[in-house]
Amino acid sequence: MPLVRRLGLGDAVFIGLGSMIGAGVFSAFGPAAAAAGSGLLVGLALAAVVAFGNATSSAQLAAVYPTSGGTYAYGRAELGPWWGFVAGWGFVIGKTASCAAMALTFAAYAAPAGWERPVAIVAVVALVTVNWFGVTRTAQLTRVIVVIVLLTLAVAVAGAFAAPDAAGWLSPEGLWSDGGYGILQSAGLLFFAFAGYARIATMGEEVRDPARTIPRAILLAFAGALVVYTAVAIAVLSSLGPEGTAASTEPVAAAVEASGRDWAVPVVRVGAAVASLGALLALIAGIGRTSFAMAREGDLPRFLAAVHPRWHVPHRAEVAVGVVVVLLVALVDLRGAIGFSSFGVLLYYLVANIAAFRQRSDVRRYPRVLQIVGALGCLVLVVTLPWQAVVAGVVVLAIGVAYRLLRVRLTRAA
């Protein structure tokens, strides 16, 4: 049974914004500041350049292949089944780690001390249930969440700018204090924050007029997220300084607290919790669609390639995603989840850039230089991630490749 096209341009933009704003604005600046200090601003610019190349590649591909699965489908169509599998597997493992990161971020802001992991697990179960009842409900709830988060961030930025400036936070020495490697590592970690527009592409079978809607939605969501991230990064660094930002697990709330506006701190905490839920909601939907597409082609168990007869969602794939995320929430920490997520997503976009580079000129929307920038950027950023994330990513990637190789050989033997 096919999926149903119910989403318009506004729905798609809000789903992308919900994924991006929640995914990084409350969780990524601390690890990035630890890597690069104030140089995270340079890292943010580099991450944005790479992300823009990736966004244009995704938009160009989505206009030609308006189907579920995103780069999994694009890689298969343009480069072959193995390329598609690597992209799809990278997306599934990376974004499943993102789900765990968002659930843990939500619990850090919303749960009593000692109850973080149980509360995170309850949040995962609740949002899998919401997704079960249809993509229009997902889109409606995402709109509400994004509006709340944007209002919260407006309060946070205003409060942080009201605090006294941290000494020397924007000096040339501070920007380059950790050298080029630290800045590149911060860019790799901050790339985690931009990857939400992939959620739009993975839902290609549920968007109306996809050849027109998806490219526009991807670029609009990316531009909106870039403006938000830049404003928040400058506000937090000017209030806390690079050391304070790196030391805080809740840098946005800490920046508001430094301004003396104690009434705004609970508002920011609530907004952070809501943002994390919004990102988690959109992530579960996107991973479910990619898993559904991979199962439909036999690259994951075909049991997952089912569509609910009433709600028209890939319900088995989404439940499977929920189960894996619950296990990760019980076992991983936030910093490790962000690094591992970046590894998988950078791999995914590397394939997207190569596939877009190979497209014919009659379907080309953007110059090939953007795909070259995106692909090279992905390669550079992935090797500068924390080594633990790279090792874990390579191991899990190898497991997926071994699974598909075994399945192909068994199929040929049969």
- Which domains, ranges and CATH numbers included, belong to the chain? 9-413 (1.20.1740.10)
- Asked whether the beta carbons of 18 and 198 are under 8 A apart, the reply is no
Structure tokens at 47: 């991450």
Q: Measuring CA to CA, how many Å separate 240 from each of 45, 56, 229, 251, 358?
A: 20, 35, 16, 8, 46
Helices (H), 163-250: 172-175, 179-194, 198-202, 210-247
Choice between 47 and 2, residue whose per-residue pLDDT is larger: 47
pLDDT tens string 260-290? 887 888 888 888 888 888 778 777 877 887 8
pLDDT the model gives residue 214: 81
Q: Which of 288, 294, 336 is nearest to 314 (CA)?
A: 288
Residue 148: pLDDT over 70: yes
Residue 242: pLDDT over 70: yes
> In the structure, what pLDDT confidence band is assigned to residue 370 with cuts at 50, 70 and 90?
very high
Residue 22: pLDDT over 70: no
Angle between helices 210-247 and 251-258 (to 10 degrees): 60
Q: Would you call 278 helix, strand, or coil by DSSP?
A: helix
pLDDT tens string 47-78? 999 989 998 898 889 888 877 677 888 899 99
Mean pLDDT of 329-355: 87
pLDDT exceeding 90 applies to what percent of the chain?
Answer: 25
This prediction's pTM = 0.81
Q: Would you call 80 helix, strand, or coil by DSSP?
A: coil
Pairs from 209-213 (Cβ < 8 Å, separation ≥ 24): 210/5, 210/62, 210/63, 210/66, 211/63, 211/64, 211/66, 212/63, 213/7, 213/8, 213/9, 213/12
pLDDT tens string 105-141? 888 878 888 888 999 999 999 988 887 776 555 567 7
Residue 402: pLDDT over 80: yes
Task: Give me the chain's average pLDDT, please.
Answer: 84
CA-to-CA distance for 195 and 345, rounded, in angstroms? 7
Mean pLDDT of 229-257: 88
